């Protein structure tokens, strides 16, 4: 079979690229290792073990867009799209992403803003930068509804090879590419878009090696997930649903991530590891009295192998092969006293069952020091102490793909080979990944129409 354009990866970047291309009259094929949206059903969500080669939580139509569906429309964080397309153009593309989400029902979740000029000034005096965004938080169920609507639109406008892996990509001598799939099919294409995200990092690394593309540096963000009294941050959240603070230490930069007022701390299973994640109250039958967020510190490595080794040493060491999460009260961590679990007088009841332990014996010193310094500065900003019953869970992580060098059109040094979304190393969020798909899909759609 021969196509004008093949897209490998059916996550949000691939989907938004396909949506732009679907009406251009070009022949389009989407390939993904995972399943259709309605067939994605990971046993981890039912408390069972998952030994799948392509886990339904991360792979398949929608990719990680099926998780919480949190779209942050900003250049302050979530990637470097503005470096490719310009600051204003990046924001415009993210607005177009939002319009498309709303076309398929996303408007059921209201947009909220985290900007607050008064807070910015107060935070600066305490040593913080406030990162601002416009956010539409769909949640898992609405994300599923929106993604299913997009699939219904695309289904008969292009060809599909789901539950299919591309084993090898060859450069054709006369231009274009030849793909060999796991079903022994040979597919030819003039242009190729790779949109495999973080979940396809090993596959992408192998293809880069075969094609002669050099991956860039790798990044891993790790940090403690903090669960505090639900009213502890009321003086900061009186105008917005959540805030994102960045604190610069002597040898680190720490940023809050995934803040969940009235939310719960839940297990996150990723790449064979277990981490504490945050769940928004909209995803629960009952809200909690607590607020939680992670405090992430990025680390950079020269290769994906080094980054993965570090990740597994830190998180795997805490897991101990049984999915263990360690937790400690802030008061006990500060004083180095005996580790206690909560009792009837505790101000904060944990929402995740974890193993109370001495985190100084579990977690690298950097993350302990950064958390304590951050919370000390936060006390200055709040004008009150952080409750000693505040819970610190070890250890959450955000994983990245190493990416490859591309030009302003997301085209690699190989002509007509495009890399978009998180595997490009440029985007680190759903909104920017989707925007990169819109951008490249629109550009290739115009070139296809001009050719026709």
Residues 49 and 173 in one domain: yes
pLDDT the model gives residue 60: 83
**Residue 310 pLDDT greater than 60, yes or no:** yes
State both tokens at 423. 């595997």
The helix/strand/coil state of 4 is strand
- 284 and 309 inside one domain: yes
User: Is the model's pLDDT at 304 over the cut of 80?
Assistant: yes
- For β-strands 111-113 and 134-137, DSSP reports them as antiparallel
Q: Is residue 364 domain-shared with residue 441, that is, in the same domain?
A: no
Res 198: pLDDT = 79
* Residue 314 pLDDT grade (very low, low, confident, very high; cuts 50, 70, 90): very high
| Residue 432: C-alpha distances to residues 96, 176, 284, 293, 315 (Å) | 11, 27, 27, 22, 28
Q: What is the CB neighbour count within 10 angstroms for residue 245?
A: 23
- Using pLDDT thresholds of 50, 70 and 90, give the confidence band for residue 37: confident
Q: Are residues 333 and 368 in the same domain?
A: yes
How far is Cα 449 from Cα 20, in angstroms, rounded to an integer? 12
Cα dihedral sign for 362, 367, 373, 374?
A: negative
Q: Is residue 327 left, alpha or beta, with left meaning phi > 0 and alpha meaning psi from -120 to 50?
A: beta
Whether 99 is in a domain gets the answer yes
CATH code for the domain in which residue 104 is found: 3.50.50.60
447 or 34, higher pLDDT:
34
Q: Is residue 122 part of a domain?
A: no
Identify whether residues 261 and 274 lie together within a single domain: yes
CA distance 353 to 375: 23
Higher confidence at residue 176 or residue 64? 176
30 found inside a domain: yes
pLDDT at 45 over 80: no
For residue 191, which phi and psi values (nearest 5 degrees)?
-130, 145
In terms of domains, do 17 and 59 share one?
yes
Report the pLDDT value the prediction gives residue 257, as an integer from 0 to 100. Answer: 94
pLDDT attached to residue 451: 55
Is the pLDDT at 147 greater than 80? The verdict is yes
Same domain assignment for residues 227 and 369? yes
Which tens digits make up the pLDDT trace of 174-187?
A: 999 999 999 999 99
Q: Quick one: residue 30, left, alpha or beta (phi over 0 = left, psi -120 to 50 = alpha)? A: beta
Cα 91 to Cα 82: distance, rounded to the nearest angstrom: 8
Does a structural domain hold residue 7? yes
Query: How does residue 14 score in pLDDT terms, banded at 50, 70 and 90?
Result: very high
Q: Is the pLDDT reported for residue 412 higher than 80?
A: yes
Give 160's strand partners. 30
Verify that 74 and 175 share a domain, yes or no.
yes
Which pLDDT score, from 0 to 100, does residue 213 have? 93
Q: How far apart are CA 341 and CA 338, in angstroms?
A: 10
| 419 located within any domain | yes
Average pLDDT, the chain: 92
The tokens for 139 are 């949640």
Q: Does the predicted model carry a pTM greater than 0.85?
A: yes
- What per-residue confidence (pLDDT) applies to 40? 77
* Residue where one domain finishes, among candidates 371, 399, 427: 399
Per the domain annotation, does 227 fall within a domain? yes
The answer to whether the bond into 284 is cis (omega within 30° of 0) is: no
Terminal C-alpha separation, the chain: 20
Q: Which of 386, 384, 355 is nearest to 372 (CA)?
A: 386
| Rounded Cα gap, residues 136 and 374, in angstroms | 27
Same domain membership, residue 411 and residue 383: no
Contacts 24+ apart (CB under 8 A), 107-113: 108/142, 109/69, 109/136, 109/137, 109/138, 109/139, 109/142, 110/136, 111/135, 111/136, 112/137, 112/240, 112/241, 113/240
Least confident segment among 40-49, 118-127, 275-284, 312-321: 40-49
Domain span at residue 287 reads 218-399
Task: Give yes or no: residues 96 and 9 share one domain.
Answer: yes
Tokens of 385: 């102490």
Number of compact structural domains in the chain: 2
Domain-embedded: residue 123: no
**pLDDT tens column, 375-400:** 999 999 999 999 999 999 999 999 88
Indicate if 82 and 158 belong to the same structural domain: yes
Length of the chain measured in residues: 452
Whether 120 is covered by a domain: the verdict is no
316-361 pLDDT tens trace:
999 999 999 999 999 999 999 878 788 878 889 999 999 999 999 9
Does one domain contain both 208 and 239?
no
């Amino acid at each position: 079979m021969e196509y004008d354009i093949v897209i490998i990866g059916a996550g949000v970047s691939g989907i938004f690229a396909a949506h732009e291309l679907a009406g251009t009259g070009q022949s389009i094929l989407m390939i993904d290792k995972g399943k259709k949206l309605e067939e994605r059903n990971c046993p981890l969500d039912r408390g069972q073990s998952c030994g799948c080669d392509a886990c339904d939580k991360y792979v398949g139509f929608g990719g990680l867009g099926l998780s919480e569906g949190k779209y942050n429309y900003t250049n302050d964080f979530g990637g470097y799209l503005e470096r490719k397309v310009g600051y204003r153009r990046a924001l415009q593309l993210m607005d177009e992403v939002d319009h498309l989400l709303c076309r398929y029902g996303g408007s059921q979740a209201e947009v909220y803003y985290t900007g607050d000029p008064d807070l910015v000034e107060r935070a600066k005096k305490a040593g913080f930068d406030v990162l601002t965004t416009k956010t539409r938080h769909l949640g898992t169920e609405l994300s599923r509804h929106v993604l299913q609507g997009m699939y219904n639109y695309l289904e008969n406008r292009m060809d599909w090879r789901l539950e299919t892996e591309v084993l090898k990509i060859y450069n054709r001598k006369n231009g274009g590419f030849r793909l060999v799939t796991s079903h022994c099919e040979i597919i030819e294409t003039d242009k190729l878009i790779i949109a495999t995200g973080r979940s396809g990092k090993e596959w992408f690394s192998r293809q880069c090696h075969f094609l002669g593309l050099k991956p860039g540096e790798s990044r891993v963000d790790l940090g403690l997930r903090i669960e505090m009294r639900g009213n502890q941050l009321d003086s900061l959240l009186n105008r917005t649903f959540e805030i994102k603070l960045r604190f610069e230490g002597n040898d680190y930069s720490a940023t809050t991530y995934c803040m969940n007022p009235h939310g719960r701390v839940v297990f996150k299973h990723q790449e064979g590891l277990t981490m504490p994640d945050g769940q928004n109250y909209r995803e629960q039958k009952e809200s909690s009295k607590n607020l939680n967020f992670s405090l992430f510190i990025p680390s950079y490595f020269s290769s994906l192998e080094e980054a993965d080794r570090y990740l597994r040493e830190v998180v795997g060491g805490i897991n101990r092969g049984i999915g263990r999460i360690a937790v400690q009260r802030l008061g006990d961590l500060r004083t180095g006293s005996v580790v206690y679990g909560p009792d009837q007088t505790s101000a904060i009841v944990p929402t995740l069952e974890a193993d109370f332990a001495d985190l100084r014996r579990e977690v690298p010193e950097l993350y302990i020091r950064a958390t304590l310094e951050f919370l000390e500065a936060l006390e200055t900003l709040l004008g009150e102490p952080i409750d000693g019953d505040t819970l610190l869970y070890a250890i959450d992580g955000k994983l990245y793909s190493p990416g490859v060098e591309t030009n302003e059109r997301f085209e690699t040094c190989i002509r007509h080979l495009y890399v978009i979304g998180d595997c490009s190393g440029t985007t680190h969020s759903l909104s920017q990944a989707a925007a990169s798909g819109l951008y490249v899909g629109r550009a290739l759609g115009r070139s296809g129409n001009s050719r026709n």
